[in-house]
Structure 1
């Protein structure tokens, strides 16, 4: 892999040099400036990471973020500030709303290790973050991928946070394009949804994941299988019957299949979605509300559908040890879910520190790179044995 490139913009020259020194020590190619007005001349499309101070004179970090959005920048952003922590969170939200990747936020003063952890996370994930993004896939690319069976499934373990037992996996679709390389689902799924291609993709996901659960079951491994369901598929009134027939035909355990839906999926045709979700539950499937806290839901969303599980979005989890607001939101979400009779899964656990905080807060289950990355089906058993031997 070529040298990773990083740009630091901070009107405090000491901090800019500090970040630059840490990044250079990790073999990044670094440009830094204490003059935000030079940003547009320093910016180029090959940057991997931009470390951006929010509070700067003349041009602030939000204005620079707007510029990056207009340039369709693929760089990952690290926000930093020594002032209002709520502004850091808000900046992260506006960046995510614009489809940008936020690697993390840092409240000044921060430790070398905190910065190193964020940069290490990028380095570890860089192959999937940097390949194939220069040109988004076309509709014909996705149609060819469906026809040529270029999609495949990976599975990320979910762990009981009390006894460390491996209780399930989340099924995650992946795509390696013949010439563009690895393309993230965050890139191709929205395009597929906008062009009526999700039914074919979802059929592949559900069939593959349910068959895998059945295969593991036959070998004596009873893992819950969590399957993400696109809002585009939640308009099919026959979905409960189709999934039930599929599970029975493959020999899967319906009671060990979790259907994950996002908050925003519940916002349009409420009656139709409720019809489908209730009948899925009646047929024995479990229901999870995914990415909780990132959509536009109210408390009403949690009580009008028969959810078994609430998943707290990684946006809050990954900063749990450094951001009091994220910790408060997580704590309240756990308490609320438990009061409503749901278990809670935290996604995006990347450090032991965050794992231990979640244990203290009473979180039921977790998933994340600290425990196990998404992996191929034949890697699960060996990983499980290693995890349980720790």
Structure 2
């Protein structure tokens, strides 16, 4: 096991000394900080792991998470508490929201073996969270790539949970960079949105998706494809007016094109975008909320949204098996969606157990590794079995 440098933050002296001794018996180096003030004095970038007590008189663990995030800490976090386990689970979600790696939680009192198990996850967790220096394209880079036709459309397949038949897909933009190879849209889309080029990229994606649907229609394979949009695409741009004649000219029905709107865009700005969303619905396009479950959208707000579909975020889908609260949230969301006539999609599905769980909950569609990895649109193959039609 790797020998780690650990800062134990706990105002209970006996507990802090026990943890320090246990860590040293496991060949780690440990220091103790008795609260927020001591933590602020002692913390530096040399610590590999921060063990946080969630309840301290001069500052709770969540407050210290914000400090670690502000300091751009690279240390992994372990939570300790003698309170209800649901609080530990909630703290893990907060840490992930702050992009902090988490080794796990320890319910007080815990044993040396339990501590050893958590610390043993360090190499795996840090390896997965390590970030390669990011490629940050300029607006000129993106303009040049558009002019040179370097962007291409990929499709992540979707399947029915009950039959596993491929019935549609989620489109993704990729940049075939001449020096860096294939670059994902998470790298260039934020820059494009900031400099006003996102509309051109989304128009390219939508046009490519509609043309691909047209090819499938002519082959007798009626599918649906989704296209993600950004805030600037929902304001000040006549998206509906662009999409409607495009679909008509290609022989594609509007309800074959799904407009994916991130939950984060809607949770505070629904009134700003409601007119564009409603017009898209009136013209027959399908509206979907993507990344649902990671924001602050309350379930009762779904009544106000003119949507046809909800995509449960991968964190919710993959958290169902381990976290009773996440599982309860997913079940309630599915129940509300069913009552409102909204279709559910599970994302990030990588194993049969999760796929079966979604089917049991009556989540209609799934996407993820077990269904299929994204492929270039030209290589996208469709299941031609009897169950290829999509429900309304």
Distance 2:339 2:221 in 1: 31
Distance 2:345 2:154 in 1: 19
Residue 60 to residue 298, structure 1, CA distance change in 2 (3 Å): closer
Distance 2:249 2:124 in 1: 44
Residue 274 to residue 115, structure 1, CA distance change in 2 (3 Å): farther
Q: How far 1:361 sits from its partner (Å)?
A: 2.0
How big is each residue's C-alpha offset from its partner over 1:39-60, in whole Å with a ceiling of 9 and x where there is no partner? 73436xxxxxx77654489999
Q: How far 1:321 sits from its partner (Å)?
A: 0.9
Distance 1:342 1:81 in 2: 40
> What is the aligned partner in structure 2 of residue 309 from structure 1?
309
Distance 2:24 2:148 in 1: 49
How big is each residue's C-alpha offset from its partner over 1:342-361, in whole Å with a ceiling of 9 and x where there is no partner? 11111111222222222222
Higher mean C-alpha deviation, range 170-179 or range 208-217: 170-179
Q: How far 1:77 sits from its partner (Å)?
A: 6.2
Does the CA contact (< 8 Å) of 2:156 and 2:170 recur in 1? yes
Q: Is it true that 1:200 corresponds to 2:200 in the alignment?
A: yes
Q: How far 1:225 sits from its partner (Å)?
A: 0.3
Q: Of the candidates 24, 31, 44, which is equivalent to residue 40 of structure 1?
A: 44
Q: Is it true that 1:146 corresponds to 2:160 in the alignment?
A: no
Distance 2:363 2:163 in 1: 12
Residue 91 to residue 300, structure 1, CA distance change in 2 (3 Å): same
Does the CA contact (< 8 Å) of 2:317 and 2:354 recur in 1? yes
Does the CA contact (< 8 Å) of 1:237 and 1:272 recur in 2? no
Distance 1:253 1:236 in 2: 25
Distance 1:351 1:10 in 2: 36
Q: Secondary structure at the match of 1:40?
A: coil
Q: Secondary structure at the match of 2:44?
A: helix
Higher mean C-alpha deviation, range 82-91 or range 319-328: 82-91
> What is the aligned partner in structure 1 of residue 16 from structure 2?
none
Q: Secondary structure at the match of 1:153?
A: strand
Q: Secondary structure at the match of 1:381?
A: coil
> What is the aligned partner in structure 1 of residue 69 from structure 2?
69
Distance 1:160 1:228 in 2: 21
Residue 143 to residue 132, structure 1, CA distance change in 2 (3 Å): farther
Instruction: Name stretches of at least 5 consecutive residues in structure 1 with no aligned partner.
Output: 21-30, 44-49
Greater C-alpha radius of gyration: 2
Higher mean C-alpha deviation, range 57-66 or range 282-291: 57-66
RMSD over equivalenced CA pairs, Å: 4.3
Distance 1:285 1:188 in 2: 26
Q: Is it true that 1:249 corresponds to 2:253 in the alignment?
A: no
> What is the aligned partner in structure 2 of residue 284 from structure 1?
284
> What is the aligned partner in structure 1 of residue 190 from structure 2?
190
Q: How does 1:1-390 map to 2 (within 5 A)?
A: 34-35=30-31, 40-42=44-46, 53-55=51-53, 65-66=65-66, 69-72=69-72, 84-98=84-98, 100=99, 130-133=131-134, 136-179=136-179, 183-236=183-236, 238-266=238-266, 270-271=270-271, 273-381=273-381, 384=383
How big is each residue's C-alpha offset from its partner over 1:139-181, in whole Å with a ceiling of 9 and x where there is no partner? 3333333333333222111121122221210111223544555
Q: How far 1:95 sits from its partner (Å)?
A: 4.0
Residue 327 to residue 279, structure 1, CA distance change in 2 (3 Å): same
Number of residue pairs aligned between Structure 1 and Structure 2: 359
Instruction: Name stretches of at least 5 consecutive residues in structure 2 with no aligned partner.
Output: 9-18, 34-41, 388-392
Greater RCO between the two (CA within 8 Å, min separation 6)? 2
Residue 280 to residue 136, structure 1, CA distance change in 2 (3 Å): same
Distance 1:149 1:117 in 2: 44
TM-score by length of 2: 0.73
Distance 2:206 2:263 in 1: 20
Q: Secondary structure at the match of 1:193?
A: helix
Distance 1:172 1:270 in 2: 24
